[in-house]
Amino acid sequence: MAGAVGAAVLRRGAAVEAWSGPVHWFAWTAVGVVLTLMAAGWVNARRKVCAVELTDETLRQGQQELPVARIAALHDGDAPGAPVLGGGLTVPRKTTEVPLTLDDGSVVLAWARFPGRMRAALNSVLRKENG
């Protein structure tokens, strides 16, 4: 996908330039390579920052891991001012907050694109953990 961006710009830019005179292939190739590298870097960063993984031992959100043993319960209601898991100031775009109560009584915000699925998965893991 990321390579398609650079290739598309290369083809269209060269086609437009061909109408007006000689095509500067080296310049268009350089632009295509730079755009491809930038797009690949963006995609890689988004995959790391927006990754969610839940196992029986840990909940990973972005690059932060939270041991499941620290999760006391799913928090009911809103949690204004609670810190966001994953290190961001807010939950990532196109995701919904899933507040969690930790073993020390504090509340943190997990997040998921499909919060119902996240709550169900967390309930299942917490049931295994507790009994």
Q: Taking each helix axis from N to C terminus, what angle separates 25-49 and 2-20, rounded to the nearest 10 degrees?
A: 160
* pLDDT of res. 2: 59
Domain ranges of the chain: 2-49, 52-130
Q: What is the pTM of this model?
A: 0.69
Task: Name which of 41, 39, 38, 122 is nearest 85 in CA terms.
Answer: 122
Task: Give the mean model confidence (pLDDT) for residues 115-119.
Answer: 92
* pLDDT of res. 80: 83
3-state secondary structure of 29: helix
Question: Distance between CA atoms of 65 and 52, rounded to whole angstroms?
Answer: 10
Question: Rg of the chain over CA atoms, in angstroms?
Answer: 22
Q: Residue 44: pLDDT band by 50, 70, 90 thresholds?
A: confident
Task: Name which of 70, 52, 48, 67 is nearest 110 in CA terms.
Answer: 52
Q: Are 127 and 98 in contact (CB under 8 A)?
A: no
Q: Are 99 and 110 in contact (CB under 8 A)?
A: yes
Lowest mean per-residue pLDDT among 11-20, 64-73, 111-120: 11-20
Q: Residue 32: is its pLDDT beyond 90?
A: no
Task: Cite the DSSP H helix spans in the chain.
Answer: 2-20, 25-49, 115-130
Task: Name which of 28, 26, 38, 27 is nearest 2 in CA terms.
Answer: 38
Instruction: Report the percent of the chain where pLDDT is more than 70.
Output: 97
* pLDDT of res. 42: 85
* Tens digit of each residue's pLDDT (9 = 90 or more) over 86-106: 888 888 888 999 999 999 989
